Amino acid sequence: MKLAGAQLPQVSHNELQAMAYSDPLTGLGNRYRMRDKVRMLAAERADDPAPFAICIANLDGFKPINDLFGAEAGDEILCQVGHRLKACIPDGATVTRHDGDEFAFVFPLVFEKNGAERIGQMIKDVLSAPYDLGDRNVRLSSSFGFAIYPFAGEEFEELLKSAETALYRSKRRGRGQITVYSQEIAQEMKRATQLEQALRNAIIADAVDVHFQPIVRLRDGAVLGFEALARWIDADLGFVSPAAFVPLAEERGFIDALSETLLRKAAEAALAWPRELFLSFNLSSAQLMDPGTAQSMLQTLARVGLDPNRVELEITETAVMTSADTAHRIITELRQAGVRISLDDFGTGQSSLGRLRDFTFDKVKIDRAFVSRITTDRASEHIIKAIVAMCDGLDLQVVAEGIEQIEEAEKLKALGCGMGQGYYYGKPADSMATLRYLEAHYREFARIERITA
């Protein structure tokens, strides 16, 4: 109820305008301020369109930190980012909070690609310093997309779209990347969108297939299990490498649908194998950030009727590091259900020993980069020898990947490596060819084991 005689506070036109053009959290300008700044610069340079640059920066991995520490901590980080950006941008430049964990810039004196990359690197370095949250520090990287007027667009909306395209390309390439828009990049992103639509349609049509590569016991070549590998042949695009379409599914947010399809097909195929053989299946980094991953995978196995004790999930160290706490919970839930966990590409990460200490794994897979050089490079040989000895002490099984020659297999056996896979033992094959492979290999080895037992 309004009290008689009460006066509402008077807000001036200038104050209202300032509020409309400001971000209430960080005190920076907002996207309306950026729009007006770009339009003003373009109008000033209309007669002689001298270039200038705009940029959008995104904080990599901000959402998991926000989820882990809470929205208040997230807001504190955004405020600290705002203070740093105001302090570091050159005179005449403008910085605004664009949206969520994205910030935008206008650089009147940045005219070309090299200048954009230099200033992007400077800002990236500033933002990479630790953020103080009182009882803890956190670190974040950042990705950048630049667009240069008038080459990337003469109108604000077109220029902004170009910067967003460049930023998206940076995110596709990994964390902490800087991209300056070009026509070539625009074409690359267009092809990615076309590939995305084709892949979505293929998932709906159940047209993405699974092939299987044998994993064997090195001392006698006995088949122990198979790794499931995604395969997709499109009617128009032909064979599409999983190195292209799996990361795309992660980036565009439908890796769960792709993974569920692949796991279902792989599990159905595994039902026809001898029960002693295991199925190895790859988990992506995006899935290790989703708390519902374990339940979803276990439900798929239950629907198919495959015992979780016959399943191994392969994860990379990079995937684990992306969101360690969530990954730990997912791994724990899966192991409690009987699923075994393998650490893939071991030796290529930055803190593999720390991962072995912090997480409970059942198996380690030695990256093919070491295996391929084991007969020619003494350093690779010693690294593999050390990994085998360490895993033996930790009661971890070891698989060597990428074995292509008998000399590599013999060397690995001599070093005490228990298991291996690679073209020497068998190329990835579809489910029917895998059954034929088992008829030719598995029964023979099973007969030899019965005789020698």
Q: Number of structural domains, the chain?
A: 2
Residues 362, 223 within the same domain? yes
Asked if 235 and 207 count as a contact pair (C-beta separation under 8 A), the reply is no
Return phi, psi of residue 305, to 5°.
Answer: 95, 20
Within this chain, do residues 261 and 290 fall inside the same structural domain, yes or no? yes
Residues 119 and 229 occupy one common structural domain: no
Say if CB 343 and CB 371 are below 8 A apart.
Answer: no
Q: Does the residue 204 lie in any domain? A: yes
Q: Are residues 305 and 416 in the same domain?
A: yes
Q: Which residue, 181, 212, 232, sits at the end of a domain?
A: 181
Give domain status of residue 441, yes or no: yes
Instruction: Tell me, yes or no, whether 427 lies in a domain.
Output: yes
Q: What is the CATH number of the domain that holds 227?
A: 3.20.20.450
Count CB atoms within 10 A of the CB of residue 30.
Answer: 19
The answer to whether residue 10 is domain-embedded is no
Asked if 202 and 331 sit in the same domain, the reply is: yes
Q: Which residues form the domain of 243?
A: 192-452
Of 130, 155, 181, the residue at which a domain comes to its end is 181
Of the three residues 141, 161, 181, the one that is the final residue of a domain is 181
Q: For 344-385, how does the pLDDT look when each residue is reduced to its tens digit (9 = 90+)?
A: 877 665 445 666 666 788 999 998 889 988 988 899 899 999
Q: 163 and 229: one domain?
A: no
For residue range 99-156, what is the model confidence (pLDDT) as tens digits?
889 999 999 999 999 999 999 999 999 999 999 888 888 889 999 999 999 999 989 9
pLDDT recorded at residue 225:
96
Q: For residue 205, which phi and psi values (nearest 5 degrees)?
A: -85, 0
Q: Provide the pLDDT for residue 450.
A: 42
- Whether residue 169 is found in the same domain as residue 223: no
What CATH number is associated with residue 151? 3.30.70.270
Q: Are 173 and 251 in contact (CB under 8 A)?
A: no
Clarify whether residues 297 and 414 are in a common domain: yes
Query: Do 248 and 363 fall into the same domain?
Result: yes
CB 319 within 8 A of CB 283: yes
Q: Is residue 355 part of a domain?
A: yes
Would you say residue 11 lies in a domain? no
Exposure pattern of 205-228 as b/e (b: 16+ CB <10 Å)? Answer: eeebbbbbbbbbebeeebbbbbbb
Has residue 410 been placed in a domain? yes
Same domain, 311 and 336: yes
| pLDDT value of residue 389 | 92
Q: Is residue 1 part of a domain?
A: no
Give yes or no: residues 280 and 404 share one domain.
yes
Do residues 92 and 167 share a domain? yes
- Which portions of the chain are predicted below pLDDT 50? 1-5, 8, 350-351, 445-453
